[in-house]
């Protein structure tokens, strides 16, 4: 092989060892474009599409009458000004609340949407990231809705902090991507952060899921931490909630499957500038 051939081989080899490129990142709107619109509302999801998001992420509970509804908290007080327990309230009671006005008068009248209503906003080719906020009882209703709406299984990612829930979701919907979510806590005695990379790997493998959804905490989620995950077989991760362009660039360079942000337009533009586009 001549020098040019060796050089070309070496370049291809090195490229194969690097994380995926910035262009491969999915920009996911956290609860919709929630910096600019009230979180987890149809207004926020529709704005996310206008801002060029690749996907939207929403949080889902079951109402008392078995509807899958989109809200982050167990109760409605923070966003509605009237405190109802979601699991103890009917869809009619929940949708009688205004969850938009707190963000601005222009959003007055926004309601807590159902999963079916959120699905209806998703354009062809875009992603839907469904955070399951309850125990495994939510899995079957979600599966039924995805089947009933014929939403493409290759464009869904199921996520949950609840290990039993995400394992059951993957068991019931094996063709749909599933990520286990974790944050990190520093131990006061040792100052170590838990879970460790080894523990994350063990959990992902035990649950049988496709990857990890990780907090953005840079003092924990370093290049070495992510390299340790990859070395032990956890090849796919997404990160939340990234509103700082420098953080977004770091995770893009590390090969994040997706970057979840409240500011999809700003983060998209920042990554494009970094890539020279």
pTM: 0.91
Strand-pair category, 68-70 with 26-30: unpaired
pLDDT of residue 167: 98
pLDDT of residue 32: 98
pLDDT confidence of 142, banded at 50, 70, 90?
very high
pLDDT of residue 24: 58
On the question of pLDDT at 173 being above 60, the answer is yes
Strand-pair category, 26-30 with 258-261: parallel
Q: b/e per residue, 51-63, with b = 16+ CB within 10 A? A: bebbbbbbbbbbb
Mean pLDDT of 230-246: 97
Residue 162 token pair: 């609840």
Using alpha carbons, list the distances in angstroms from residue 84 to 73, 89, 109, 196, 236.
10, 7, 17, 37, 37
3-state class (DSSP) for residue 260: strand
Strand-pair category, 55-62 with 68-70: antiparallel
Mean pLDDT of 90-118: 98
pLDDT confidence of 277, banded at 50, 70, 90?
low
Q: In order of start, what are the domains of the chain with their CATH numbers?
A: 21-60+126-274 (3.20.20.190)
Distance CA 186, CA 41 (A): 34
On the question of pLDDT at 232 being above 60, the answer is yes
On the question of pLDDT at 15 being above 80, the answer is no
On the question of pLDDT at 14 being above 50, the answer is no
Q: To 5 degrees, how large is the angle CA 141–CA 142–CA 143?
A: 90
pLDDT of residue 111: 98
Would you say 40 and 71 are in contact if contact means Cβ atoms under 8 Å apart? yes
On the question of pLDDT at 10 being above 70, the answer is no
In sequence order, what DSSP letters do the residues of 229-247 get, joined into one string? Answer: HHHTT---EEEE----HHH
pLDDT confidence of 7, banded at 50, 70, 90?
very low
Would you say 214 and 238 are in contact if contact means Cβ atoms under 8 Å apart? yes
pLDDT of residue 16: 35
Mean pLDDT estimate for the chain: 92
On the question of pLDDT at 236 being above 70, the answer is yes
Other beta carbons within 10 angstroms of residue 225's beta carbon come to 19
pLDDT confidence of 276, banded at 50, 70, 90?
confident
Sign of the Cα pseudo-torsion (200, 203, 206, 211, in order): negative
Would you say 86 and 75 are in contact if contact means Cβ atoms under 8 Å apart? yes
Q: Cα 168 to chain center, whole Å?
A: 18
For 185-217, write each residue's pLDDT tens digit: 999 999 999 999 999 999 999 999 999 999 999
Distance CA 116, CA 149 (A): 8
Mean pLDDT of 71-80: 98
On the question of pLDDT at 44 being above 90, the answer is yes
């Amino acid at each position: 092989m001549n020098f040019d051939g060796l050089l070309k081989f070496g370049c291809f080899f090195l490229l194969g060892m690097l994380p995926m490129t910035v262009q491969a990142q999915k920009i996911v709107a956290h609860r919709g474009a929630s910096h600019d619109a009230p979180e987890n509302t149809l207004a926020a999801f529709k704005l996310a599409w206008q801002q060029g998001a690749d996907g939207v992420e929403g949080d889902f509970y079951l109402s008392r009458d078995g509807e899958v509804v989109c809200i982050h908290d167990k109760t409605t007080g923070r966003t509605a000004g009237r405190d109802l327990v979601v699991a103890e309230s009917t869809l009619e009671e929940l949708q009688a609340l205004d969850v938009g006005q707190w963000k601005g008068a222009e959003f007055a009248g926004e309601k807590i949407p159902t999963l079916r209503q959120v699905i209806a906003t998703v354009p062809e080719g875009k992603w839907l990231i469904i955070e399951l906020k309850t125990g495994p009882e939510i899995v079957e209703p979600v599966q039924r809705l995805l089947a009933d709406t014929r939403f493409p299984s290759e464009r869904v990612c199921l996520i949950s902090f609840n290990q039993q829930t995400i394992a059951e979701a993957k068991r019931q919907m094996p063709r749909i991507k599933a990520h286990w979510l974790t944050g990190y806590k520093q131990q006061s005695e040792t100052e170590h952060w838990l879970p460790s990379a080894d523990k994350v790997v063990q959990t992902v493998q035990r649950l049988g899921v496709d990857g990890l959804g990780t907090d953005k905490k840079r003092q924990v989620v370093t290049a070495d931490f992510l390299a340790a995950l990859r070395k032990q077989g956890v090849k796919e991760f997404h990160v939340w909630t990234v509103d700082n362009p420098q953080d977004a660039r770091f995770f893009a360079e590390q090969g994040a499957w997706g970057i979840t942000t409240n500011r999809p337009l700003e983060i998209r533009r920042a990554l494009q500038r970094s890539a020279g586009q």
